[in-house]
Copies of this chain bind each other. A is one copy, B any other.
Amino acid sequence: MEREFVEWLVRQVPADPRLEVPAGDDAAVLRPPASRRTVVTVDMLMEGVDFVLGPDCPPEAVGHKSLAVSLSDLAAMNARPEAVVVAVALPSRGGESLGRRIHAGLAALAARHDVAIAGGDTNAWDGPLVVSVTAIGSVPPGRAWRRDGARVGDRLLVTGACGGSLLGRHLAVVPRCREAAEIAGRFDVHAAIDVSDGLSLDVARLMAASGTAAVLDLAAIPIHPDAVTMSRQAGDSRSPLEHALGDGEDFELVLAMAPEVAAAAVAASGTGALDVPLTIIGDVIEGCGLFVRDPDGALAPLAPRGFLHALEG
Contact = CB atoms under 8 A, between A and B. Distances in A.
A118 interface: yes
A102 interface: no
A117 to B, nearest CB: 11
A174 interface: no
A141 to B, nearest CB: 7
Given A27-B76, A125-B48, A132-B87, A310 B92 contact: yes
A79 interface: yes
Nearest to A1: B311
Interface string A115-126: 000111111111
A183 to B, nearest CB: 15
Contact of A38 (B46, B136, B139, B194): B136
Contacts of A266: none
A119 B25 contact: no
Contact of A42 (B48, B86, B94): B86
A32 B32 contact: yes
Copies held by the complex: 2
A146 B25 CA distance: 7
Contact of A44 (B41, B43, B89): B89
Contact of A3 (B40, B88, B193, B308): B308
A39 B94 CA distance: 32
Contacts of A89: 44, 46, 130
Interface in A1-22: 1-3, 5, 20-21
A229 interface: no
A135 B40 CA distance: 10
A307 to B, nearest CB: 10
A173 to B, nearest CB: 14
Nearest to A7: B208
Contacts of A1: 308, 310-311
B27 A124 contact: no
Interface of A: 1-3, 5, 20-21, 24-32, 37-44, 46, 48-49, 73-74, 76-77, 79, 83, 85-90, 92-97, 99, 118-128, 130, 132, 134-137, 139, 141-142, 144, 146-148, 192-194, 209, 308-313
Given A97-B313, A130-B132, 19 more contacts: A2-B310, A21-B77, A24-B147, A25-B147, A25-B209, A26-B194, A27-B79, A27-B135, A28-B39, A28-B40, A30-B37, A42-B132, A42-B134, A44-B130, A46-B127, A87-B134, A93-B312, A121-B132, A122-B309
9 contacts: A26-B194, A27-B79, A29-B79, A32-B37, A40-B119, A42-B87, A46-B123, A94-B312, A95-B311
